[in-house]
Chains A and B, each alone.
Chain A
Amino acid sequence: MARNEALFEAICKGKRNDVTALVQGEIDAGTDIIALMNSSMIPAMRDMGERFSRNEVYVPEMLIAARAMQAGLNLIEPILADKGHKAKAKVCIGTVKGDLHDIGKNLVAIMLKGAGFDVIDCGVDCDTAKFEQAVQDGAQAVLCSALLTTTMPYMKEVVAKLKDSSAKIIIGGAPVTRQYAEEIGADGYGADAFEGVTEVERLLGLTAA
């Protein structure tokens, strides 16, 4: 399916009302919604993610793009549910115990939804029990976020608690490094929201060949 350029642009520019109108228009026209997501919506968030990684856009642009994306997803999700469409995989995400920062976590969550994942948002200040519960509820990957150097060591406890489960653990956040991920035995690491999603896809074997 050819990319809907207007929709792609509206998501990148964060025009929530335009996104709603354009997606509704496609739904009314009977367009294949999954094809629309794959051709126009997910690439828009990926494009923004790449531009964020390259320092061409900053947090505000990412946030408003994510919000516009969410507006479109809100229209699409019930349709997919009705059709019995299966999500790519179920994952959970949360900011670790003691840490109340959620900007980064929310960005990754929306990128994951946009990439076709069923996302359990555990919120902020998550103890190991919260992550364990999400795994019991079917999360195949656990994404842990931390903004503070003082809360980041809690990730080690999450890894220790979940090491016998089948879930993959991916960590990220401003002070977190790949070296730290390896040190504490996490399965993966994302330097930013975009990388976080590709890391989940890689670890769950969902990467397109």
Chain B
Amino acid sequence: MHPNVATWLTTAPILLDGAWGTEFQARGLPPGACPDALNLERPDWVAAVAGAYIAAGARAILTNTFGANRFMLARHDLTDRLAEINRRGAEISRAAAGPEALVFGSVGPTGQMLLMGDVTEAEIEAAFTEQIEALAAGGVDAIAFETMADLDEVKIALTVARRAGLPAMASLVYDSGPDHDRTMMGITPEQAAETLAEAGADIIGSNCGHGSEGFVPLAPRLKAASGLPLWLKPNAGLPEMQAGRAVYRQTPADFAQDALALVAAGADFIGGCCGTTPEFIRATAATLATAHK
């Protein structure tokens, strides 16, 4: 394990941030627009979201760079601004985090299928390398590979993070299979945990896919199979469609209670994914403070 992670763990559980995309949409980002471009176009919005999570009590926040890899940016004709988007994203979160809180550079999937021969391993590696180098230049403390599904892709990602000397967290989505405990590629938590530990992950985790109750059975399985610190970011329950919009029903107070249960189940880093807001993180901070007094 990276020595920095060991130091951070002395103060676990570490509260993370919640969702970013929905916060931008609430400010007026149209569906389908590139959220990562906001780092250049509306840095004030990005700073406001990062700041809101810090103010809510998050001790580690991510960067607004989830889709800032060459493949995803190409869909918005933004590849020429890749380094800038990532570096600015890191700098904005860094400034909001101040000297105390940690910044994890957010890196999402490339959207390319290695097994279909869409891309070569070398192309995936080059894509992660340029993104992570720019995030490092912007001052991130670590890299968070989020919402991953394909182990082969994550393995390459981890190699790149290690080469950059940064601690790396790898989080997969378990939303498939009869018990919703496999990734869409059919991978179980045990398979993922073993492979990720072997590939050099410092922290492993799960995000998105279901609400907090779905994470309770996952937590001990991930932890037992990897022996690594655990990162969990559940959704605010399952979305219900109301008048054509996805509505997350869970209240911040209920989410906070579930977060407490997830910490008891082994989470070292706890935050929220889709549907969560600074209010959810604030409620979780209060609940954790009471429980860990």
Residues in chain A within 8 A of chain B (CB atoms)? 55, 57-61, 63-64, 67, 97-101, 103, 125, 148-154, 156, 174-175, 177, 179-180, 183-184
With known contacts A98-B31, A156-B244, A59–B184 Cβ distance under 8 A: yes
Within 236-261 of B, Cβ neighbours of A (below 8 Å) are at 239, 241, 244-246
- Whether the pair B241, A183 counts as a contact (CB closer than 8 A) is yes
Stretch at the interface among B7-15, B108-116, B212-220: B108-116
Contact of A151 among B31, B115, B176, B241 (CB under 8 A): B31
- Whether the pair B246, A149 counts as a contact (CB closer than 8 A) is yes
Additional pairs, 14, CB under 8 Å, beyond known A58-B185, A60-B185: A58-B176, A59-B176, A59-B186, A61-B186, A63-B116, A64-B116, A98-B31, A98-B32, A125-B75, A150-B21, A151-B31, A153-B245, A174-B175, A180-B241
The binding surface of chain A is classed by DSSP as loop
The closest CB in chain B to the CB of A176 belongs to B241
- Whether the pair B241, A177 counts as a contact (CB closer than 8 A) is yes
Name 11 interchain pairs, CB-CB below 8 A, sorted by A.
A61-B186, A64-B116, A97-B31, A98-B32, A99-B32, A125-B75, A148-B31, A149-B239, A151-B32, A153-B244, A153-B245
User: What is the 8 Å Cβ interface bit string for chain B, positions 21-48, against chain A (1 contact, 0 not)?
Assistant: 1100100001111000000000000000
Residues in chain B within 8 A of chain A (CB atoms)? 21-22, 25, 30-33, 72, 75, 111, 113, 115-116, 175-178, 182, 184-186, 239, 241, 244-246, 274
Contact of A58 among B25, B75, B111, B182 (CB under 8 A): B182
Q: How far, in angstroms, from A125 to B74 measured CA to CA in the complex?
A: 14
The binding surface of chain B is classed by DSSP as loop
With known contacts A63-B113, A98-B32, A125-B32, A58–B239 Cβ distance under 8 A: no
The closest CB in chain A to the CB of B239 belongs to A149
- Whether the pair A58, B186 counts as a contact (CB closer than 8 A) is yes
Identify the interface centre among B111, B239, B244: most chain A CB within 10 Å of its CB: B244
- Whether the pair B31, A64 counts as a contact (CB closer than 8 A) is no
Identify the interface centre among A58, A64, A97, A148: most chain B CB within 10 Å of its CB: A58
